[in-house]
Amino acid sequence: MNAIQQPSAIYLADYREPTHWIDETHLDVVIFPDQTRVTARLKITPNAARAVSELVLDGEGLQTQAIYWNDARLTQDDFDECDGKLRLKQINESGWLTTEVIICPESNTALEGLYRSRTMYCTQCEAEGFRKITWYLDRPDVMSVFTTRLEADQSLCPVLLSNGNLVASGSLPNGRHFATWHDPHKKPSYLFALVAGQLSCVKDQFVTASNRSVAIEVYVEPKDLDKCSHAIDSLKRAMRWDEQNYGREYDLDIYMIVAVDDFNMGAMENKGLNIFNTSCVLASAATTTDIGFQRVEAVVAHEYFHNWSGNRVTCRDWFQLSLKEGFTVYRDAEFSADMNSSTVKRIEDVNLLRTAQFAEDAGPLAHPVRPASFIEISNFYTLTVYEKGAELVRMLATLLGPEYFRKGTDLYFERHDGEAVTCDDFVASMEAVSSRDLSQFKRWYSQAGTPELIVSSQYSEAYKTFRLTIEQRCPPTPEAAEKAPFHIPIRVSLLGAAGALPLKLANQAVGDLPEDNTEMILELTKSEQTFEFAGVHERPVPSLLRGFSAPVNLRYAYSETELITLLMQDTDLFNRWSASQELGVLAVSNAIKAGTCELSGDWVNALQANLQRDDLDPAVMAYMLQIPSVNYLHDRFPETDILTLHQTRQDLVRRLALSLADALREKVLAYDMRQPYEVSAAAVAVRSLSNTALLLLAEAKDPLALRESITRFKHANNMTDQLAGLRAIARCQSDNVVKEHLAAFYSQWKDEALVVNQWLSLQATRDEADTLVAVQSLTSHPCFSWNNPNKVRALAGAFANQNPGQFHRDDGAGYEWLANVVLKLNQANPQLAARLVTPLTQWRKHGQRGQLMFSQLQRIQGATLSKDVFEVVNKALT
């Protein structure tokens, strides 16, 4: 690619209001095989604030047939079409612009715009897919009222859907029919959707707080009709929860969800017509794991919550993406916490943040939660924008407290209903209700990188004081070498022999003390600060960053004894888990130093004691038994080679299993497999602990695991247990037995695409010398398709992200294969390709080995790249 053609970046600082508005959008979409005709009639009004007469519309891959201005057909001299822009001069007055284009959804493999998936046509417009359907001002601050007429063959596409309410429908000559939908709410083009195809429908309804009845319709392929009830129940719970917790009611008469098999992401919040990846909506006990059920609940809620945080109040520009995503992830996390176990939910989210988001923040693709520039916005649907963005909202909630936070969200929705706004507007509402100055806090939106907190303590026996000195540092990231200090809420307690001690800061008046004063939020705003507690009558163990009150790396030189105290006695259950992870890190550290891996007896005893307690949530216990992931360990021991870390970790897992064998066997045996399946938090927790115990014993090749893995596989009445059995088999049985059971599993489930994905992932994550060969040959298996992102992620994504032992093979063959996959998908599905390349971008962390990754990136760079892959690879190489 030569310099002139290189894609260029766009900047937040260059934001200007649009030159024109589109008050009304009337679409007519006429579907014929290989040839869909889209006629768009747009009511255009010049934006007085800009006073620019040239109108420049976005369009990609459109075959323009005709253009009319106020019904007069324009000739070649009146417009200029080039490089994805249509320029019309002299649009100084309101009028109607009509364009007619032809598109071909059947050959759209990028899954953006209008495309075909199996038996249906569907759309994906976020972020900039609408321009692949028609000429438009394809930016979120242009909001319009949409009326959409769909026309198609009655038998090929009996179902015709779009946003809003159905206002007309009927038959046409030649076996064709039509439907017209009208959405009364103004919306940006990215929230537009249409669906046409052979779909079955499950119907239900919801009565809102103000007693309006809302029709719920879930559209799936006929074979999946039995897998909709969990999504519907989750939706109804989410609707109620948003009324109760945010005072938000649904605003249309109908809420539709459509399940599609080929989808780049999890799901999409199109107004009144959500489109879901099948993996995030279908669920049944036989085919879906507990994690799958919980994911469906979370994603259904997430998309529903977007109706307010995203649709009613939307983003001014794509730099503000976290305005809707960070807030909505925070909302769905709180919902899931309320529906299930809040500690377990927090553990899962923090695990993801610490293993994956922190790595993103420390690598070449690091960007602020509100990026200042991008080449391709699709590359910014990241853990930073979503998960770290949600942590920012959580910190605001922590700083304001629940009452003011709710006032703040009320004000935000009220002030900005129907508007396209910015992250600053969100924070401004929080400031307005609380009279707090959050200007320093806003640095979290513009500075990338994970701050490190270096904490030390000092106890004075003589003065009965305890001091915490906290220093913050933030490593350089691509956008800035130097960082100004962040405003960081640090939730703390001090543990004494008999529990959490009452807290009083040395400079705090007694009258200021809250009723429960055993926990406090320290606000760190300087690069270094000391907090002194008075009246501390014994040397305490500090419980720091409770509930992970800020997305930071905490460094405090805990002794093993102190960590065990936290593990056993902390009154914050999350921090008990956190201590278990730190003990794992300590064990790895000792093993690296000593070259052999001796387990600490105190640690083993503590875990043993916890396993015997019946007042501890079994799901939390299961997480306490996990040694931190290799990726997290690599963050903590950047100098140690990844394979050494992987082997050390494996060794530790085996030894831990051997030391805890009796207690683990008990958990395996105590489990009654015949109980009818239930997804309650309690039932999930029991399965989780029993299956974790089984897998640990399998790692240690325990005789019970040899027997029980087969039993669980054969006699399971649900997918969680069956898959746990198969995983255990894969860890402890002979090669032949493993192959035999993999084959049996496939023949049992070959007609269930989502189960087949699990089967692919399991094989891709096996730590065996021939895994890569097996993975390569699976790409020619009849079940596999390069056009289905779920399949590609199940195989290539799982291999590259969840199989450190084989992906990082010394000969570099893992890297080479991933690069081949990226090159294969680069043009066909740029979004997917750009995501898959991520593991290679971490090459700098891998010393010698990194050179092998580097040369694969260079090889990719040599090809003619899509914008998406171009941006990622170039940033990784500079």
Binding site for ligand PHE (CB under 6 A): 124, 126, 265, 267-269, 302-303, 325, 381
Rounded distance, CA 567 to CA 557, Å? Answer: 16
Residue span binding Zn ion (CB under 5 A) among the ranges 216-224, 325-333, 690-698, 734-742: 325-333
- The letter for the amino acid at 670 is A
Q: How far is the CB of 279 from Zn ion (least distance, A)?
A: 16
**Is residue 214 within 8 Å of residue 254, measured between CB atoms?**
yes
* Least CB distance to ligand PHE at residue 264 (A): 6
Query: Is the Cβ of residue 274 or residue 722 nearer to ligand PHE in the bound state?
Result: 274
Report, in Å, the least distance between residue 300 CB and ligand PHE: 11
Question: What is the three-class DSSP state of 606?
Answer: helix
Could you confirm whether 471 is annotated as catalytic? no
Q: 766 contacts which partner out of Zn ion, ligand PHE, none, CB within 5 to 8 A by kind?
A: none
Residue 306 CB, nearest distance to Zn ion (Å)? 6
Among the listed residues 60, 221, 303, 325, the single catalytic one is 303
Residues 6+ apart with CB under 8 A from 473: 451, 452, 454, 527
Binding span for Zn ion by CB under 5 A among 20-28, 148-156, 320-328, 737-745: 320-328
If the CB atoms of residues 341 and 831 are measured against ligand PHE, the closer one turns out to be: 831
Closer by beta carbon to Zn ion, 325 or else 635: 325
Q: C-alpha distances in angstroms, 291 versus 334, 434, 627, 867? A: 17, 38, 19, 34
Residue whose CB is less far from ligand PHE, 267 or 753 = 267
Q: Which residue in 128, 82, 131, 137 sits closest to 103, CA to CA?
A: 131
Q: What percent of the chain is helix, strand and coil (3-state, nearest 5)? A: 45, 20, 30
Using the minimum distance from each CB to Zn ion, give the nearer residue, 328 or 722.
328
Q: Which two tokens stand for residue 739?
A: 């192959």
Encoding tokens for residue 192? 């537009």
Nearest to 804 by CA among 583, 696, 644, 589: 644
Distance of CA 96 to the CA centre of its chain: 40
φ, ψ for residue 761 (rounded to 5)? -60, -40
Structure tokens at 847: 């010393």
* 477 CB-near residues (< 8 Å, 6+ apart): 361, 366, 367, 447, 448, 449
Distance CA 497, CA 538 (A): 8
> Toward Zn ion, which CB reaches closer, 646 or 835?
835
268 binds, among ligand PHE, Zn ion, none (CB under 5 to 8 A by kind): ligand PHE
As measured in angstroms, the least distance from the Cβ of 548 to Zn ion is 21
* Cβ atoms < 10 Å from Cβ of 497: 11
Could you give the CA distance from residue 415 to residue 438 in angstroms, rounded to a whole number? 19
325 or 617: CB nearest ligand PHE: 325
Number of neighbours of residue 375 by Cβ within 10 angstroms: 19
Cβ within 8 Å of residue 709, ≥6 positions away: 694, 698, 725, 726, 728, 729, 732, 733
Minimum CB–partner distance for residue 302 and ligand PHE (Å): 6
Instruction: Specify the residue, 276 or 445, whose C-beta has the smaller distance to ligand PHE.
Output: 276
832 by Cβ neighbours in 10 Å (0-12 / 13-18 / 19+) ranks as: buried
Partner touching 470 among Zn ion, ligand PHE, none, CB below 5 to 8 Å by kind: none
Q: Is the peptide bond before 127 cis (omega within 30 degrees of 0)?
A: yes
Region of 21-29, 328-336, 520-528, 670-678 interacting with Zn ion (CB under 5 A) = 328-336
Q: How far is the CB of 332 from Zn ion (least distance, A)?
A: 8
Q: How many residues bind Zn ion (CB under 5 A)?
A: 2
**What secondary structure does DSSP assign to 47-94, as a single string?**
-TTT----EEEE-SS-EEEEEEETTEEPPGGGEEEETTEEEE----S-
Query: 378 or 578, CB closer to ligand PHE?
Result: 378
Which residues are near Zn ion by CB under 5 A? 325, 328
Active site amino acids: 303
